[in-house]
Structure 1
Amino acid sequence: MKNAINEGGQNTPPEELDTPSRPPLEGLELMAWTVKAMPQITPTVNTILGSIMLIPLSMLLYGYFDTHENGRMSFFTFFGSTVSCLWLFFWRFVFRQKTVYHYRITDQGAEMEYYLHYPKHFRAFLKGLSIVFLIVVLGFISVDPAFIWMLAGPGGMAIMASKSLITWKNEIRFYQFTWDRPNWIFTDRKRNFITVKRHHRPDITFQENYLGFDIYPPEGKLDEILSIIKAYAPANIDYEEGNWSEKVEIADMRLHNQEQQPL
């Protein structure tokens, strides 16, 4: 993971965020900070995303040459260009979307409040984009009534998506744990990242089993946070350091191999 400090240092989220009601974590506050973190995109994921991008680009090229031959705009030109723009938008604001984290560590546990980071006027931009896209679809239908069948397919789905964008709100999420729960701490110093986990135990419920708390420390504070964890976490907790992305890929491969084995 790659992260950067929030320069403003503001703990108050924007007004348009949906703020959930939740009780604060009790105990003496030991540390609190705010960061922006961006997910680490692996080469494998980038290759897959780039391969998908070839599909709308090929449709765009086909429509371009078809337009020159027939002297009229091809549906493939419109569809290919639209999907290409939407996919690039999706790539930038979903796979490479930054998240704002507000952390607070006490002698009882740790908590975080997090939400996706968008530009200041992003909500107004989404509303404008929805209106423009709706006008474009209706404009194509007015130019060539044959495009009206799009309302039963891509055009109809686009109109429904536009409605969702107009009513969109950025949701705030919250997560916390107490020091008696974790039994595994993994540190990735290269990416300045700590993850607090709990190994699975089949004799307890899923809610008690599950724990996945990702910590993005401020610059130069990783060892300080680790010292707090070691002071308050159980004495028998496992500590491990390395490359977290490689750790996840190995775990996914093991899970896949287990699923492939015959019963």
Structure 2
Amino acid sequence: MTSTINKSEQNKIPEKSEASPYPPLEGSEVMTWTVKAMPQITPRINLALGSITLIPLSIIIYGCCWADLAGKQNSYLDAGVVWLCMWLFFWRVVFHQKTVYHYRATEQGIEEKYYLHYPKHFRTFFKGFAIVFLVIVLCLIAVDPVFIWMLAGPGGMAIMASKSLITWENKITYGYFTWDRPNWIFIDRKRNMIVIKRRHNPSIPTDENYLCFELYLQKGQLDKVLSIVKTYAPANIEYEEGHWSDKVEIADMRSHLQEQGSP
């Protein structure tokens, strides 16, 4: 899912902006564009994130069904509800947050820079959110020492995540490729994106072999960018159309089988 952004959003970049570590691409500038899009999140990732909600749900169910026997029903219900709400917040706001992409196409290749689309005050919000979460955990442990066992599992991981939020910065990431590298172009018209990729060649070093460059496009821009790709990419390059999410799922399954030692 992509959307265009206005000039005020286009110029809104993180406060601490570092210069690109790569030299500017040579050649005449062919096209530039900026788009706000959500990176590919596969169903497998959503399934993993959604399964974590089973932990607070189990606490809520335990509080409703069995904790009343010990007179601690409200404590378990409160802990489960707070945990569930916080995780749903992280799932929606953090993991499903859109990214702002800036692209610049030249006769030599395409370069990009991208960063998460968060308002400037979100850094302060994340710090406050993390502090409040830590205070809630300490209060729950003070009310009922049984909750200290949470620190040995998911609760401890949540606290570590909260600490990372306190020092969080919206960093800018840079990347580029030159037209001589790709040998496979994948076109996803449904998601309005073009993937510039290089198939694996065992005779080439790894750092030169790998290439997977996703171009997120504005509405109605796909054919224009595709014509630029066809103009400057190698003549023998392979083109394919379909759903990129399906390709990502197949790649994930293949890597999983390789890890398991399957043929």
What TM-score does the superposition give when structure 1 sets the normalisation length? Answer: 0.84
Of 50-59 and 148-157, more deviation after overlay is shown by 148-157
Match of 1:221?
221
> Offset at 1:96?
1.6
1:196 & 1:118 partners in 2: Cα distance?
Answer: 27
Superposed counterparts of 1:98-137, under 5 Å: 98-137=98-137
Output the amino acid matched with 2:77.
T
Q: Secondary structure of the residue that 2:123 maps to in structure 1?
A: helix
1:148 & 1:103 partners in 2: Cα distance?
Answer: 49
Q: Does residue 184 in structure 1 map to residue 179 in structure 2?
A: no
> Offset at 1:97?
2.0
Superposed counterparts of 1:42-53, under 5 Å: 45-53=45-53
> Offset at 1:155?
5.7
Q: Structure 1 residues 166, 248: CA separation in 2 closer, same or farther (over 3 Å shift)? A: closer
Q: Check the 8 A contact 2:103/2:113 in 1, yes or no.
A: yes
RMSD of Structure 2 on Structure 1 (CA): 2.9
Superposed counterparts of 1:1-263, under 5 Å: 2-8=1-7, 10-16=10-16, 21-41=21-41, 45-73=45-73, 76-144=76-144, 147=147, 157-254=157-254
Q: Check the 8 A contact 1:116/1:170 in 2, yes or no.
A: yes
Output the amino acid matched with 2:113.
E
Q: Secondary structure of the residue that 1:33 maps to in structure 2?
A: strand
> Offset at 1:255?
5.0
1:41 & 1:121 partners in 2: Cα distance?
Answer: 26
2:155 & 2:48 partners in 1: Cα distance?
Answer: 26
1:178 & 1:88 partners in 2: Cα distance?
Answer: 40
Q: Secondary structure of the residue that 1:168 maps to in structure 2?
A: coil
Q: Structure 1 residues 155, 228: CA separation in 2 closer, same or farther (over 3 Å shift)? A: closer
Q: Check the 8 A contact 1:184/1:199 in 2, yes or no.
A: yes
State the Cα deviation string for residues 27-58 of structure 1 (Å, max 9, x = none).
Answer: 21111111111135555654554444233212
2:196 & 2:24 partners in 1: Cα distance?
Answer: 20
Q: Secondary structure of the residue that 1:88 maps to in structure 2?
A: helix
Q: Secondary structure of the residue that 2:129 maps to in structure 1?
A: helix
> Offset at 1:248?
2.8
> Offset at 1:17?
5.2
Output the amino acid matched with 1:161.
A
Give ranges in structure 1 of 5+ residues lacking alignment: none
State the Cα deviation string for residues 136-185 of structure 1 (Å, max 9, x = none).
Answer: 23323443456566666666555443332111111111110111111111
Of 106-115 and 46-55, more deviation after overlay is shown by 46-55
> Offset at 1:239?
1.1
Q: Structure 1 residues 145, 245: CA separation in 2 closer, same or farther (over 3 Å shift)? A: closer
State the Cα deviation string for residues 3-47 of structure 1 (Å, max 9, x = none).
Answer: 111233524512145655442222211111111111355556545
1:145 & 1:260 partners in 2: Cα distance?
Answer: 41
> Offset at 1:98?
1.0
Of 74-83 and 147-156, more deviation after overlay is shown by 147-156
1:19 & 1:65 partners in 2: Cα distance?
Answer: 57
2:147 & 2:57 partners in 1: Cα distance?
Answer: 21
Output the amino acid matched with 1:216.
Y
Q: Percent identity between the aligned chains?
A: 62
Q: Secondary structure of the residue that 2:114 maps to in structure 1?
A: strand
Q: Structure 1 residues 262, 213: CA separation in 2 closer, same or farther (over 3 Å shift)? A: closer
Q: Structure 1 residues 78, 106: CA separation in 2 closer, same or farther (over 3 Å shift)? A: same
1:98 & 1:61 partners in 2: Cα distance?
Answer: 34
Q: Check the 8 A contact 1:193/1:215 in 2, yes or no.
A: yes
Q: Check the 8 A contact 2:14/2:172 in 1, yes or no.
A: no
Q: Structure 1 residues 244, 157: CA separation in 2 closer, same or farther (over 3 Å shift)? A: closer
Of 38-47 and 202-211, more deviation after overlay is shown by 38-47
1:255 & 1:21 partners in 2: Cα distance?
Answer: 31
> Offset at 1:116?
1.5
